[in-house]
């Protein structure tokens, strides 16, 4: 057996492992497609603009979870590595939410002060 053949044989998954991975990828594809179609239908409803933003942000985070977990193989990593990747992301989302709340507060204060 030549060195190239040995590397080629060792580089691939077993048939069962490959089949399971393809099944997971297709399952993720259909979930993402369903969420995207749902977003399109939601966009044409008469939901208030503020609620619509929250729905789209939430669905985008769910889609990002599936993409990162499946296609970037984060779901197969150890727990510590997942937290190393996901914790900063969650903190950034938290900081954005806090900055938006602070900005809304200052906007409200400035409007109240102008009315005095």
Per-residue pLDDT tens listing for the chain (116 residues): 554 454 445 555 567 778 888 898 899 999 999 999 999 999 999 999 889 999 998 999 889 888 888 877 777 677 777 778 778 888 998 999 999 999 999 988 888 888 76
The closest of 50, 24, 53 to 39, measured between CA atoms, is: 53
Q: Tell whether pTM > 0.85.
A: no
State the alpha helices, DSSP H only, in the chain. Answer: 3-11, 15-43, 49-66, 79-115
Residue-level pLDDT at 15? 79
Residue-level pLDDT at 6? 47
Give the domain ranges of the chain.
1-76, 78-116
């Amino acid at each position: 057996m030549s060195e190239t053949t040995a590397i080629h044989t060792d580089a691939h998954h077993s048939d069962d492992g490959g089949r399971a991975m393809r099944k997971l990828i297709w399952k993720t594809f259909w979930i993402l497609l369903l969420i995207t179609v749902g977003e399109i239908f939601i966009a044409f409803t008469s939901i208030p603009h503020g609620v619509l933003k929250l729905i789209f942000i939430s669905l985008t985070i769910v889609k990002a979870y599936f993409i990162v977990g499946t296609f970037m193989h984060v779901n197969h990593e150890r727990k510590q590595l997942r937290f190393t990747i996901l914790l900063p992301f969650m903190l950034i989302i938290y900081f954005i939410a806090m900055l938006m709340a602070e900005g809304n507060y200052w906007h409200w204060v400035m409007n109240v002060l102008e009315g005095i």
